[in-house]
Chains A and B, each alone.
Chain A
Amino acid sequence: MPVAFLNFMEVTMNGLMAGVLYALVALGFVLIYKASGIFNYAQGVMALFSALTLVGIMEGQVPFSHLINAVLGTEIHHFGWHINAFFGILFTMVVMVALAYCVQRFVFRHLVGQEPIILFMATIGLAYFMEGLGDLMWGSDIKTLDVGLPQGGSFAIEDLTAGWAAEGARYYGMYIDNLDMVATVVAAILVIALVLFAQYTKQGRAMRAVADDHQAALSVGISLNFIWVLVWSLAGFVAIVAGVMWGAKSGVQFSLSLIALKALPVLMLGGFTSIPGAIVGGLIIGVGEKLFEYQFGPMLGGATENWFAYVLALLFLVFRPQGLFGEKIIERV
């Protein structure tokens, strides 16, 4: 195989894997948007918050330690224990469910039936509140998150692909990040689990029913509050996965919340109401921006990854506003 083609393949693979992470964030948006019509701006911050919490729990950090020390004049920072990743993630899940309950109980229960823009504004407020809360609880320094995921490139793939190039060509194999591969597998499992849950369980069916018609769902005895707590919890779990993956890749820092902005073009491509759409949209954006950078980046002065996704989304908005997989609007004639 010619080297140029192998390079092209490598870029595509890396794009796919970056896309998986975008898709993960977008998935959280879709879940909440479908079930409650709320566009949750805070999804990115939820990923940040869950990653901070996970690090904090695993390191045995005392939450609010700065505040406590400032008020009581004490000097406590750590409980002095270390928890392994499995239990850390379990505790973080509990925290995210509690958060989902609080969000529902103290914010959205009071906003039932309000305009979408008001709900959206509420999520912006929520995003800043959670960012501040995360800061106050766990401190604002950059943390490393080590849940035992493999780091660095995969030698197996490098060795395997090195032989693919033509004899005598200077080719040393593909570089594919181990972490990216793990992320892809985890994301695939997560998505399959979510789809099975939505499709084949009673609560999943109720979730879809609520997404279709709130009033009718209410009338058959489905508790909207329960379902909303459920979807916020699920979105919280998705946020944990996204937070862990991004955190492991580039450290847990506050810029993590900005990945929410990358999810927007993904949603415009895939449609706001489609779980498969979020996945495919994420992959297209991931591959698209990597390939574009590879092919045209040098001509345009580089850094096209910063804007490519948004331009693509803009094109979609013009030509196919419901996205690739947006829910078909059912109209009977």
Chain B
Amino acid sequence: MLDAGHTEETLLEVNNIEVIYNHVILVLKGVSLSVPKGGITALLGGNGAGKTTTLKAISSLLQSERGEVTKGSIQYRGEKLEGFDPAGLVKKGVIQVMEGRHCFEHLTVEENLLTGAYTRSGAEVARDLEMVYDYFPRLRERRKSQAGYTSGGEQQMVAIGRALMSRPETILLDEPSMGLAPQLVEEIFGIVKSLNENEGVTFLLAEQNTNVALRYAHYGYILESGRIVMDGPAAELRENPDVKEFYLGMSDEGRKSFRDVRSYRRRKRWLS
């Protein structure tokens, strides 16, 4: 079962990596995780926990930000990823959708999608464009508009659709819910789920919105200050009392303000 996570064929294996920015700032302090083929794996945690850094370490976008993986290893299908540039990774089937959407503002929606197929050529590109429009019918309507003038939700769709155009095996999806209305968040996640089920795309998903992410993901890792503090099948994490209390704002006594969370217990739990 996919829910078990580790029992399936592992695509991506991150082994105890440490990431340092600018030679001094230690951001990841030994993160390990594995992403099974055909699953949706969620990487959860608050601001500054290291989610984005983990994804960028995998997609090797760190290099352009003066970040560096100093320890550990990242393997994709058993092959080490060190020394690959982002273009090489896209050709291998790993693509990142960056946080904050990052559309090409002055290009039209369709041109945005076509840049996603930069590493490919041939007739399949046109077919894939239709496939993307089928998943995101709104984009078909707006294909000739400049991406900068589309709404936040549409831009997120453009970003995901653009990644799809490279025919990826794995999408590293960074914070798709950022700045979107709850209804749109559900819509985006629904599409992620159907892409996963119908197209067989594997997702590694970084999210702050623990509630939504755990409903759609199969397996989850919780990251805090650059360390994985907990992991398990999404269904289990959802029921875990600590996750409930610290990330879902719930406890045995019902809904609860984060202010009242017993921080000593939190510390005890994480340090053990």
**In angstroms, how far is the closest chain B Cβ from the Cβ of A249?**
36
Q: Does A209 contact B (CB under 8 A)?
A: yes
Judging by beta carbons under 8 Å apart, are A223 and B87 in contact? Answer: yes
Q: Which residues of B contact A (CB under 8 A)?
A: 59, 61, 64-66, 85-87, 89-91, 95-98, 102-107, 111-112, 114-116, 118-119, 121, 146, 148-149, 151-152, 162-163, 166
Q: Does A214 contact B (CB under 8 A)?
A: yes
**In angstroms, how far is the closest chain A Cβ from the Cβ of B101?**
9
Inter-chain CA distance A253–B118, complex, in Å, is 43
Inter-chain CA distance A213–B98, complex, in Å, is 12
**In angstroms, how far is the closest chain B Cβ from the Cβ of A203?**
9
Judging by beta carbons under 8 Å apart, are A330 and B91 in contact? Answer: no
Report the nearest A residue to B148, measured CB to CB. A330
Report the nearest A residue to B91, measured CB to CB. A221
Q: Give the total of A residues in contact with B, Cβ under 8 Å.
A: 23
Report the nearest A residue to B66, measured CB to CB. A113
Which residues of chain B have C-beta atoms less than 8 A from A222's C-beta? 87, 115, 118
- Number of A-B residue pairs, CB cutoff 8 Å, is 87
Judging by beta carbons under 8 Å apart, are A327 and B106 in contact? Answer: yes
List 20 contacting pairs A-B, 8 Å CB cutoff, sorted by A: A113-B65, A202-B114, A202-B121, A205-B107, A205-B114, A206-B115, A208-B106, A215-B102, A217-B115, A219-B95, A220-B90, A220-B115, A220-B118, A220-B163, A223-B85, A223-B87, A330-B106, A330-B149, A332-B148, A332-B149
Judging by beta carbons under 8 Å apart, are A220 and B162 in contact? Answer: yes
Judging by beta carbons under 8 Å apart, are B107 and A221 in contact? Answer: no
Q: Does A218 contact B (CB under 8 A)?
A: yes
A residues 283-333 with Cβ under 8 Å of B?
A: 327, 330, 332
Tell me which of B64, B89, B114 contacts A112 (CB under 8 A): B64
Judging by beta carbons under 8 Å apart, are B104 and A221 in contact? Answer: no
Cβ contacts A201-233/B at 8 Å (1 or 0 each): 010011011011111111111110000000000
Judging by beta carbons under 8 Å apart, are B103 and A216 in contact? Answer: yes
Assuming A209-B107, A215-B102, A327-B106, is B114 touching A221 (CB within 8 A)? no
**In angstroms, how far is the closest chain B Cβ from the Cβ of A246?**
32
Judging by beta carbons under 8 Å apart, are B106 and A216 in contact? Answer: no
Judging by beta carbons under 8 Å apart, are B106 and A219 in contact? Answer: no
Judging by beta carbons under 8 Å apart, are A212 and B104 in contact? Answer: yes
**In angstroms, how far is the closest chain A Cβ from the Cβ of B123?**
14
Assuming A113-B66, A215-B64, is B87 touching A209 (CB within 8 A)? no
Inter-chain CA distance A202–B119, complex, in Å, is 10
Tell me which of A206, A214, A327 contacts B118 (CB under 8 A): A206
**In angstroms, how far is the closest chain B Cβ from the Cβ of A97?**
21
Judging by beta carbons under 8 Å apart, are A221 and B95 in contact? Answer: yes
Which residues of chain B have C-beta atoms less than 8 A from A218's C-beta? 61, 64, 86-87
Q: Quick one: which of B64, B89, B106 has the most chain A CB within 10 A? A: B106
Report the nearest B residue to A203, measured CB to CB. B118
Which residues of chain B have C-beta atoms less than 8 A from A213's C-beta? 102-105
Q: Quick one: which of A113, A206, A211, A212 has the most chain B CB within 10 A? A: A212
Inter-chain CA distance A222–B116, complex, in Å, is 9
Assuming A220-B116, A220-B162, is B104 touching A209 (CB within 8 A)? yes
